Amino acid sequence: MLEKKPLITHMYSADPSANVMNGKLYIFPSHDLDVEMESNDNGDQYCMEDYHVYEMDDMSQPPKDLGQILHMKNVPWVSQQMWAPDAVLKNGKVYFYFPARDKDGLFRIGVAVADKPEGPYTPQKQPIKDSFSIDPCIFNDDDNVSYLAFGGIWGGQLDKWKTGTFDPQGGEPPDDQNAVCCKIARMQDDMLEFAEKPRDIVVVDEKGVPLKAGDRNRRFFEGPWIHKYNDTYYFSYSTGDTHQLVYATSKNIYGPYTWQGVILTPVLGWTTHHSIVEYKGKWYLFYHDCEMSKGINHKRNVKFCTLEYRPDGSIVTLNP
């Protein structure tokens, strides 16, 4: 098995969104261009302008690159930085969600639609109305209702939207105040627009108290993912500057979610972004690190490993 080895080696890739469609596993990662850029907290070093999709039917073999499915030059509203995407198969169509900066430099979330995972994809001419920030995760529940979770602070701009409008001077709250929350919104039936105003996904501690901004080992930073296991919703995400993948659980899709523990301890590189998927009766964690580039933060590579649950539903912590 290719556990903990780079999956995609002919180019740099990151932020793997793994989804089962028509009985096969497809990986929708972002694509790091092989360029030299100086790193900063705004994420300007992440030069990404297109997406590929990969098919991985056999977990013991490398995935097959099905080719480029979208480029920024084909999306009228995009100026730069097509970051971490996600996709879902619903009602016979594949809906591909991606963040990018618009012409004003603000991150928005766009949608492209295809008849099959490999495309061709047709992007909507405008981003989702009232969308902002990065890292969309589309979750289709058992009742066929879909929800989009999204957000990332610092370079992802989520902390600049605390008042409901964009504040270029915004940032994380003081350490003793509630942390910035990931957002979630139910989607319209056509999967192209929000059906409601985005809500906060509140993560609370064991006493039911919302996590504080200073709790950097547990508070939300970026990379949300929602999956369901034994009728429980699992909300997992990256803690950013403390470099962990962690998770919280709830019986309600909207939360609040109770913090549970660490999924993956820090990997080589600054960012941590993941997806969790069940395929052929086994659970897998897809993630990235910087092994191929020997630690260059904006030249990442996708990896995966098996994920295990304890009888009580807790996840066994993985060490890279």
Query: What pLDDT is stored for residue 3 in this prediction?
Result: 53
Average pLDDT over residues 54-63: 93
Whether 1 is in a domain gets the answer no
d(CA 227, CA 247): 11
The residue with tokens 């972002």 is: 30
Whether 313 is in a domain gets the answer no
pLDDT at 40 over 80: no
**258-293 pLDDT, tens digit each:** 999 999 999 999 999 999 999 999 999 999 999 999
Percent of the chain clearing pLDDT 90 (strictly above):
92
Average pLDDT over residues 117-135: 98
**204-227 pLDDT, tens digit each:** 999 999 999 999 999 999 999 999
pLDDT at 38 over 90: no
Query: What pLDDT is stored for residue 280 in this prediction?
Result: 96
**144-156 pLDDT, tens digit each:** 999 999 999 999 9
Model confidence at 47, pLDDT cuts 50, 70, 90, reads: confident
Domain limits for position 67:
12-306
Whether 312 is in a domain gets the answer no
Whether 268 is in a domain gets the answer yes
Whether 40 is in a domain gets the answer yes
Which residues are known to be catalytic?
A: 15, 222
Which structure tokens are listed for 99? 């963040």
pLDDT at 81 over 60: yes
Whether 7 is in a domain gets the answer no
Whether 144 is in a domain gets the answer yes
Percent of the chain clearing pLDDT 70 (strictly above):
99
d(CA 289, CA 303): 7
List the one residue out of 305, 276, 303, 300 whose CA is nearest residue 14: 300
Whether 135 is in a domain gets the answer yes
**Any idea what the CATH number is for the domain that residue 200 is in?**
2.115.10.20
Query: What pLDDT is stored for residue 1 in this prediction?
Result: 36
DSSP state letters, 55-109: E-SSTTSPPEEEEEEEEGGG-TTEEE-----EEEEETTEEEEEEEEEETTS-EEE
d(CA 114, CA 124): 11
How many structural domains does the chain have?
A: 1
